[in-house]
Amino acid sequence: MTRADVWRVARRPRMVGLLAVFLAAATVCGLLGAWQLDRARQRGQAAVAQRQAQLVAADPVPLDSVLAPQTAFPGDLVGRKVSVTGTYEPGQLLVTGRSHGGVTGELVLTPLRVGSGADAAVLPVVRGWLPSGAAPDEPPAGAVSLVGYLQAGESAGTGIASGATDAISPAELLHVWTGPIWTGYLVLASSDPAPSAGPALLGPPTPTQTSPNLQNLLYAGEWFVFGGFAVFLWWRAVLDEAHGRIRDRGRPERGDRASGPEADPRA
């Protein structure tokens, strides 16, 4: 079978009409697959929004009941609402290049000393966000009771200089804040006593990328496979018919049977 044979069969009106039907079916399958992809994205975003609402509504638990200083930060603690009491210390920093509401500014990062004596440790606290160029306020003096959301510490940045840093890295902060340190940090939600003024509070940590719903992704994959299979069926039909035409072409007609002495006289 040559390409010419296949092309000759494919151009037949019946095959062209069949191709139009299969292409229409493939188009419908493609549209359904695209719709399922969009549903997967929407349901992924809805799941994130639901988790955010659950984090906000949750009751806080004591920080020391879920995480100790200088221990690994489990991934399932991201966004966990905790409570902690301590005293703010000098050494406040601005974390540069952070966006909030589509505006780039800085986070106000303040060390909170928790405990006393040999057991004292420092907890990095993000007290909020400021637009670029705004001067941060001083944190409340004396003991404060905080409620906030846990977030894992970041990788080291370019370092700390002139009261600013580009990363909330416990490893780097340990060089400027004395004592044991938590491997995560607290995103402040409320404070007692509350400051009279201060940076804008942030919500619970949100993932930078939303994972689409797996079930809808599988449905989308199935529709795309169905669409491809429809085109394959047409191609298979062309090849089968081309093979059949070649077999018919090579089969002898009744009048062409052998008539020599060795032929069966009853034929």
Give dist(CA 229, CA 23) in Å, integer.
10
Under 8 Å between Cβ of 154 and 137: no
Q: Which two structure tokens, joined as six digits, stand for 249? A: 């072409």
pLDDT at 267: 44
Give dist(CA 99, CA 76) in Å, integer.
24
pLDDT at 166: 93
DSSP 1: -
Q: Which two structure tokens, joined as six digits, stand for 127? A: 């007290």
Low-confidence ranges of the chain (pLDDT < 50): 257-260, 263, 265, 267
Under 8 Å between Cβ of 146 and 125: yes
Sign of the CA dihedral with 201 first, then 207, 208, and 210 last: negative
Give dist(CA 176, CA 161) in Å, integer.
10
pLDDT at 151: 93
Under 8 Å between Cβ of 133 and 77: no
The two counts, helices (H) then strands (E), for the chain are 4, 9
- Helices within the chain (DSSP H only): 3-10, 13-57, 170-173, 214-250
**CB-count burial class (<10 Å; 0-12, 13-18, 19+) for 223:** buried
pLDDT at 235: 86
pLDDT at 252: 56
Give dist(CA 123, CA 16) in Å, integer.
72
Give dist(CA 72, CA 70) in Å, integer.
7
pLDDT at 254: 52
Give dist(CA 158, CA 52) in Å, integer.
31
Neighbours of 114 (CB within 10 A): 21
Q: Which two structure tokens, joined as six digits, stand for 60? A: 């806080």
Give dist(CA 131, CA 50) in Å, integer.
29
Give dist(CA 103, CA 31) in Å, integer.
37
